[in-house]
């Protein structure tokens, strides 16, 4: 059972690779969370593994992922192998520590955790942009090798944690991340220019079903700041205030096919 959250396709691609290799079912956290259920209960089969795969937002797991993990419960749990994999542009800060804290009150524990470096997609603040095409391709090539390595470790039920913490982790995860969640995780600055052709791709690719296209896209109040709408727009017609003007776009090469 592989649970995933993804905006621009990096974590979705990882989840697809892991689910196929481990012969496990793939479940979208966003689809589960946008349903009507307030609790999430799943029945585990004997020997079934449980994985959570998600991007790192501002050096911590996205709020939607942490909320889902806090609410989830498993019947027939009998020491099954539980792991997580997080995708990141460079480093994950205190994500490993936060993931341990998130399940402290549960009956299960993490057996393994990994980070995978993938192309950058965060563009909503000054100084942040996507990687150059050369770096993007290098990261994609190296991530394929790393995911194969991780899949082999998971198949052998390795108890191992490889998460790239990076420098100034406390500052980034404990101080900057709460500010990010408070001020940046909002759809209010999004708007579409007159270049919008009403293609509907932003609506289709929003994992939270938070966009409706009526001539131009209209954003609701259930935004995770994943930026899928910005990056998928074929005419670069979507912006996040002034922060994204003249910046670049990135969507995982398989992302459009994986939705």
pLDDT in tens, 56-113: 999 999 999 999 999 999 988 888 999 999 999 999 999 999 999 999 989 899 999 9
Cβ neighbours, 10 Å, residue 145: 9
Same-domain check for residues 161 and 219: no
| Overall number of domains in the chain | 2
In a domain? residue 117: yes
Please give the residue range of the domain that contains residue 110.
2-181
Same-domain check for residues 119 and 132: yes
In a domain? residue 201: yes
In a domain? residue 258: no
Mean pLDDT within 247-255 = 92
**CB distance 39 to 169 below 8 Å:** no
Q: How confident is residue 39, by pLDDT bands cut at 50, 70 and 90? A: confident
In a domain? residue 259: no
Q: Is the pLDDT of residue 162 over 80?
A: yes
Same-domain check for residues 155 and 196: no
CATH number at residue 11: 3.40.50.360
In a domain? residue 63: yes
Same-domain check for residues 208 and 82: no
Same-domain check for residues 173 and 190: no
Same-domain check for residues 177 and 190: no
pTM of the model: 0.95
Give the span between the Cα atoms of 22 and 233, in whole angstroms: 33
Q: How confident is residue 252, by pLDDT bands cut at 50, 70 and 90? A: very high
Q: What pLDDT is stored for residue 107 in this prediction?
A: 87
Tokens found for residue 103: 């399940």
**CB distance 202 to 217 below 8 Å:** yes
Give the span between the Cα atoms of 172 and 91, in whole angstroms: 10
Q: What pLDDT is stored for residue 76 in this prediction?
A: 86
Q: Which of 181, 198, 216 is the last residue of a domain?
A: 181
Same-domain check for residues 110 and 8: yes
Same-domain check for residues 118 and 237: no
In a domain? residue 257: no
Same-domain check for residues 153 and 42: yes
Same-domain check for residues 141 and 37: yes
Q: Which of 160, 181, 202 is the last residue of a domain?
A: 181
Beta bridge partners of 43: 75
Same-domain check for residues 172 and 215: no
* Three state DSSP letters for 174-233: HHHHHHHHHHCCCCCCEEECCCCCCCCHHHHHCCCCCEEEECEEEECCCCCCCCHHHHHC
Q: Which of 181, 198, 221 is the last residue of a domain?
A: 181
Nearest Cα to Cα of residue 135 among 121, 119, 149, 122? 119
Q: What pLDDT is stored for residue 47 in this prediction?
A: 87
**CB distance 228 to 11 below 8 Å:** no
In a domain? residue 82: yes
């Amino acid at each position: 059972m592989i649970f995933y959250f993804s905006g621009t396709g990096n974590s979705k691609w990882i989840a697809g690779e892991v689910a196929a290799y481990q012969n496990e079912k793939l479940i979208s956290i966003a689809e589960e969370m946008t349903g009507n259920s307030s609790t999430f209960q799943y029945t585990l089969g004997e020997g079934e593994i449980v994985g959570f795969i998600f991007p790192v937002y501002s050096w911590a797991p996205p709020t939607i992922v942490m909320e889902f993990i806090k609410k989830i419960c498993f019947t027939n749990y009998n020491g099954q192998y539980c792991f997580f994999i997080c995708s990141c542009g460079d480093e994950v800060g205190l994500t490993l520590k936060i993931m341990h804290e998130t399940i402290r009150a549960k009956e299960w524990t993490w057996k393994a955790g990994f980070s995978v470096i993938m192309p950058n997609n965060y563009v909503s603040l000054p100084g942040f942009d996507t990687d150059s095409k050369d770096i993007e391709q290098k990261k994609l090539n190296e991530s394929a090798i790393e995911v194969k390595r991780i899949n082999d470790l998971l198949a052998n039920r390795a108890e191992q944690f490889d998460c790239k913490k990076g420098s100034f982790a406390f500052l980034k995860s404990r101080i900057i991340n709460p500010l990010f969640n408070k001020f940046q995780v909002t759809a209010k600055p999004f708007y579409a220019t007159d270049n919008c052709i009403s293609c509907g791709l932003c609506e289709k690719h929003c994992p939270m079903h938070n966009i409706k296209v009526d001539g131009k896209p209209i954003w609701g109040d259930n935004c995770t700041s994943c930026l899928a709408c910005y990056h998928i727009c074929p005419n670069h017609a979507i912006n996040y205030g002034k922060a994204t003007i003249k910046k670049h776009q990135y969507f995982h090469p398989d992302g459009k096919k994986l939705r």
